[in-house]
Amino acid sequence: MRDLAPSSSYDNTRARVASYFDGTATRVWERLTSDAPVSRIRQTVRAGRDSMRALMLDQLPTDLRGARVLDAGCGTGAASAELAARGADVLAIDISPKLVEIAAARMPEGLAGRVQFRAGDMLAAELGRFDHVIAMDSLIYYTRPDLEAALDGLATRAGQIVFTVAPRTPLLMAMWHTGRLFPRADRSPTMIPQDHKRLGVAGLSRVGRVSRGFYISECLRVQQ
């Protein structure tokens, strides 16, 4: 039986993620997730992310009335808004208080009552049980053991988990080996490409991949 308690490497990664998204990256992320003009490269990332969000949301029922859904690592809240529009009771949580603030400010007025915003750790057991968990590009920074422990822990409290990993494509692995997935020597967290076939998690299946310019991400699902 795997230890479900967060490890020190999980804590360290989360701390790096928090200082990045709550510091140097807040404005970049706010802009990327808006309609504001961005570079050609970021346009491909934005388009890829829109496709991935749609693919992930397609794995959940259209009618989510009565369902409790966790948007784990909600960022600026795009998925939370769509989940709330389908009638879900959403808990939108992110380790970056600044991104949570932006997410709350962006939530359409008519949906705000359906979404509870919180700054904190998306794996905290005190968040309770959920019918669905969606974790878009928020588990991509964690090592395989930390990812497996995160999924095992969430699976004890959720009907299904729909999440993404950075796949081990030749391009991403070449970038990883040459250090180009370490964007500058600042505090930015590094994506860790994963081979989903090596993930030892019960009930895991592959949903599909989105590859659009500089955005490459794979959608997986855990269902008990």
Ligand X SMILES: C[S@@+](CC[C@H](N)C(=O)[O-])C[C@H]1O[C@@H](n2cnc3c(N)ncnc32)[C@H](O)[C@@H]1O
Among 70, 82, 115, 121, binds ligand X (CB under 6 A): 121
**Structural contact between residues 67 and 90, judged by C-beta atoms closer than 8 angstroms:** no
156-215 positions binding ligand X, by CB under 6 A? none
Q: Between residues 136 and 210, which has the closer beta carbon with respect to ligand X?
A: 136
Nearest to 58 by CA among 44, 79, 35: 79
Supply the minimum distance, in Å, between the C-beta of residue 119 and ligand X: 8
Number of residues that bind ligand X (CB under 6 A): 19
Q: With binding defined as CB under 6 A, does residue 96 bind ligand X?
A: yes
Supply the minimum distance, in Å, between the C-beta of residue 138 and ligand X: 3
Among 82, 89, 137, 148, binds ligand X (CB under 6 A): 137
- State both tokens at 159: 């009907």
Nearest to 143 by CA among 58, 57, 36, 17: 17
Among 48, 73, 153, 193, binds ligand X (CB under 6 A): 73
Which among 34-42, 69-77, 125-133, 180-188 is the span making contact with ligand X, rule CB under 6 A? 69-77
Which residues, 6+ apart, have CB-to-CB distance to 1 below 8 Å?
none
CA distance 184 to 88: 39
Can you list the alpha helix ranges (DSSP code H) found in 66-195? 78-85, 97-106, 144-155, 170-177
x-marked contacts with ligand X along 33-52 as a string, rule CB under 6 A: x-------------------
- The amino acid that residue 184 corresponds to is R
Supply the minimum distance, in Å, between the C-beta of residue 25 and ligand X: 9
Under DSSP, the state recorded for 87 is T
For residues 104-114, one letter each, b for 16 or more C-beta atoms within 10 angstroms of the residue's C-beta and e for the rest, the string is beebeeebeeb
Supply the minimum distance, in Å, between the C-beta of residue 164 and ligand X: 8
Among 78, 149, 154, 201, binds ligand X (CB under 6 A): 78
Q: Which residues bind ligand X (CB under 6 A)?
A: 14, 17, 21, 33, 73-75, 78, 93-96, 99, 121-123, 136-138
